[in-house]
Amino acid sequence: MATLPSKPIADDVSLLVVLIDTNPFFWSTSSSSLNFHQFVSHVLVFLDLIVRLSQLNQIVVIATGHNTCDYIYDSSLDTDQVTGEGELPALYSFVLQRLEEFVDKDEKLGAKQEGLSEKRASSLLSGSLSMALCYIQRVFRSGPLHPQPRILCLQGSPDGSEQYVSIMNAIFSAQRSMVPIDCCYVGSHNSAFLQQASYITGGVYVKPQHLEGLYQYLATVFAVDLHSRSFLQLPRPAGVDFRASCFCHKTTIDMGYVCSVCLSIFCKHHDKCSTCGSVFGKAQLDAASDRKRKASES
């Protein structure tokens, strides 16, 4: 059920939901020229830019941690307007403060589950995407006058294939709501999920080559509101990696079995689909071998 297109207040107003990757395992092992300190500074300046572009611009910052996600900053909330302290502008110090608190919370949650999640180095992208979409839904229901929302994902951690289903669900609901998901991927190898997300929702996926100029990438590509995008040619990736994860083991697969009812993907032959419960007929190979066995017995 598609929502009606929202009536913008003005053409060049944007409501931007930024998802920042704060996965400590990624940032501690990232060998690229970007460390967390530089990354945060680039992002802060970018957020400031967005806010200054128009008085009606709104931004929402959501942090994607290893064990949890949380709203960091919402420019429309009164509680988030604070006066500046020290050298940094108010926005920066506020965001940094909240980030720190979030990191503490994340660590505490991680300590409880010590030993279980050692292997996973991926962040909870599905969680933050869902939170962003919930926020956007709330905005939709708040009234006719709101800017067209979009999501910007600043991700560096690799994809967690166990999150495939949730991420795809989030992507499809974003597609339904006509919310583009942009992505600026600062990790080492391309992220299939985010490529698919941008491709399906009509967003922009950029993997910057020169990470020291990350701010320039953000300002050039992602600062533009949705209406003006129709006049600009934004960079698009050469190809999209459309590989999926199987529903039973969460491994990335190229070839597998697909349920014809609900289109869920499995890597091995199952008798029954775990998603929709439909019973599968015998695979053709098995049927042929059965016939042979029967013939030889008789």
Partner 1 sequence: MSSGQVTKRVKYKTSVKDAGTPGRLSLVKERLVFRPNNPNSASKLDMQFKYITNHRYTKEGSNKAPMLNLTSNQGASYIFEFESYEDLHTCRDFVGCANLMKFGHKGVAELLHRQQKLQILELIRKFIQNNPAEMICSSVQGCCKTIDFVLHSELQKLHQQFVGGGVLTEAEFWATRKKLLEKDSNRKAKQRGGLKSSVLAESKPFIDGRTNRVTFNLTPEIVREIFSEKPAVHRAYLNFVPSKMADKDFWTKYCRAEYLQRSKNIAAAIAEAAEDEELAIFLKPDDILANETRRKIRRVDPTLDMETDQGDDYSHLPDHGIFRDGSKEVPESGNELYQRTLLQDLNRHAAVVLQGTPIDEDQLKDTQTVAEALERSKQERSTASKDDDSSADQERLKGISQAMTIDDLRGSNDHHLAPLWIKDPRDYFDSRQASSVKTSIEATKGTMSSHESYGLLRESISQIKSMGLNHPVVASEVAQKVLSVLTHNISSTKYNLGKKPGESLLDSLPTSVRDELLHHHISIEELMKHFWSSYPITNKYLNTKVTKLKDEMSKMDSQLQKLKEAVQPDIRHQITLLIRPMQQVDDYFFPKLPSSIIRSPLFYRTPFLFVWCRRSRQQCSTTTPSSRRELQKLEKSRMDILERRNLLTLYVGWNRNFVETS
Site residues (vs partner 1, CB under 8 A)? 22, 24-25, 27-29, 35-38, 40-42, 44-45, 87-88, 92-93, 96, 99-100, 103-104, 106-107, 110-111, 114, 118-122, 158-162, 189-192, 195, 208-210, 212-217, 220-221, 233-241, 243, 250-252
Q: Which is nearer to partner 1, 119 or 141 (CB)?
A: 119
Q: Which is nearer to partner 1, 106 or 225 (CB)?
A: 106
Main-chain dihedrals φ then ψ at residue 86, nearest 5 degrees: 70, -145
Residue 190 CB, shortest distance to partner 1, in Å, is 4
Residue 8 CB, shortest distance to partner 1, in Å, is 25
**Element (DSSP H or E) covering residue 292:** helix 284-297
Residue 139 CB, shortest distance to partner 1, in Å, is 29
DSSP letter, residue 282: P
Q: Which is nearer to partner 1, 100 or 286 (CB)?
A: 100
Q: Are 47 and 62 in contact (CB under 8 A)?
A: no
Residue 266 CB, shortest distance to partner 1, in Å, is 17
Q: Which is nearer to partner 1, 28 or 81 (CB)?
A: 28
Q: Which is nearer to partner 1, 144 or 235 (CB)?
A: 235
Residue 286 CB, shortest distance to partner 1, in Å, is 29
Report CA-CA distances (Å) from 18 to 221, 230, 231, 268, 292: 14, 21, 23, 38, 60
Task: Quickly tell me which residue has 């962003």 as its tokens.
Answer: 132
DSSP 121-148: ----HHHHHHHHHHHHHHHHHH-SB-PE
Q: Which two tokens stand for residue 230?
A: 């129709």
Q: Which is nearer to partner 1, 159 or 225 (CB)?
A: 159
Residue 269 CB, shortest distance to partner 1, in Å, is 22
Q: Which is nearer to partner 1, 16 or 99 (CB)?
A: 99
Neighbours of 271 (CB within 10 A): 8
CA distance 205 to 103: 27
H-assigned helices in 30-180: 36-53, 90-112, 125-142, 164-177
Q: Which two tokens stand for residue 235?
A: 């960079």
User: In this structure, which amino acid lies at residue 12?
Assistant: D
Main-chain dihedrals φ then ψ at residue 185, nearest 5 degrees: -100, 120
Residue 231 CB, shortest distance to partner 1, in Å, is 13
